């Protein structure tokens, strides 16, 4: 088991929230290039909001090593970038062009949301010539490349909502973990406490005068018994009984190869 006080971190690529946010970013770039004037501020803002939704997840995952607070803050920034910025831009796109925004419980939206739950939907019937359809989350970018503006924008609304929902749940889980397990300060304190407990009021080795460490015999007649062993072991095999006298022999009955600590 690692004795490092660093908290668990990394592995964000495996998060469903990250996978959905990454697809949203890629598809947003395609959507904006197709339907939004490239020189406009809206184009840049939508792409940057989508990018923020991805990059803040990875940055927060790295920051988690020493700050659960930073992890939660950055994950929430990712959520806000999608739900408070990008989502509104897609809705405005539809409204300003007189296109329909699907109700979240409409048959079209429900079907789209169901497709996006899966990376690839298996068993779909053959596609008729000239038609386009969403085959799953991994096919969203390709779908946006060919779909009509209203359908493409509503598909993105569904995808952004899904990413924001997953990120909100992720922040809630991170918050629970922090309350239950503490953060870096608690982890650092625990590591220091264990390190101090391992030495305690450590005596000097009777053979080489180096600091000793408390260990536990792993086998033999003294199996399970604590003793002081030289910190230079195996070069020095000096031992002391805990609360007892020194043993200036090689200490083989206590500090054997299976000693613990």
Each domain of the chain, given as residue ranges in start order, spans 12-188, 200-261
Mean pLDDT in residue range 33-53: 96
Kindly report, residue by residue over 141-175, the tens digit of the pLDDT.
999 999 999 999 999 999 999 999 999 999 998 88
| pLDDT tens-digit readout, 64-94 | 676 778 888 899 999 999 999 999 999 999 9
Contact 208, 230 (CB under 8 A): yes
Which pLDDT score is estimated for 1?
Answer: 44
Task: Please report the pLDDT score of residue 167 as a whole number.
Answer: 95
At 134 the pLDDT is 86
Which two structure tokens, joined as six digits, stand for 239?
């031992």
Please tell me whether the overall predicted TM-score, pTM, comes out greater than 0.75 for this model.
no
Q: What's the CA gap between 197 and 165, in Å, rounded? A: 45
Long-range contacts (CB closer than 8 Å, 24 or more residues apart) made by 166-173:
166/15, 166/16, 166/17, 166/20, 167/17, 167/21, 167/53, 167/57, 167/75, 167/76, 167/78, 167/79, 167/82, 168/79, 168/83, 169/17, 170/15, 170/17, 170/75, 171/72, 171/75, 171/76, 171/79
Q: Calculate mean pLDDT across residues 113-121.
A: 92
- pLDDT score, position 194: 57
């Amino acid at each position: 088991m690692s004795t490092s006080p660093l908290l668990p971190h990394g592995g964000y690529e495996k998060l469903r929230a990250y996978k959905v946010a990454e697809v949203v970013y890629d598809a947003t770039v395609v959507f904006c290039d197709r339907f939004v004037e490239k020189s406009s501020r809206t184009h840049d803002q939508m792409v940057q909001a989508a990018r923020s939704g991805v990059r803040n997840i990875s940055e927060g995952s790295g920051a988690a090593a020493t700050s659960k607070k930073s992890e939660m803050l950055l994950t929430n920034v990712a959520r806000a970038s999608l739900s408070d910025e990008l989502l509104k831009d897609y809705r405005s796109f539809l409204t300003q062009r007189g296109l329909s925004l699907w109700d979240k419980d409409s048959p079209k939206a429900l079907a789209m949301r169901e497709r996006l739950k899966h990376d690839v939907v298996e068993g779909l019937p053959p596609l008729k010539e000239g038609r386009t359809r969403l085959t799953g989350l991994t096919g969203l970018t390709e779908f946006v490349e060919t779909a009509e503006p209203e359908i493409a924008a509503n598909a993105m609304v569904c995808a952004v909502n899904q990413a924001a929902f997953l990120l909100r749940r992720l922040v809630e889980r991170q918050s629970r973990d922090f309350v239950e397990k503490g953060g870096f300060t608690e982890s650092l304190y625990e590591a220091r406490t264990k390190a101090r407990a391992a030495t305690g009021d450590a005596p000097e080795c009777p053979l080489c005068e180096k600091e000793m460490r408390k260990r536990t015999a792993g086998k033999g007649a003294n199996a399970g018994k604590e003793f002081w062993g030289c910190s230079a072991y195996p070069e020095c095999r000096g031992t002391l009984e805990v609360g007892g006298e020194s043993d200036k022999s090689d200490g083989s009955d206590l500090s054997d190869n299976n000693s613990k600590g």
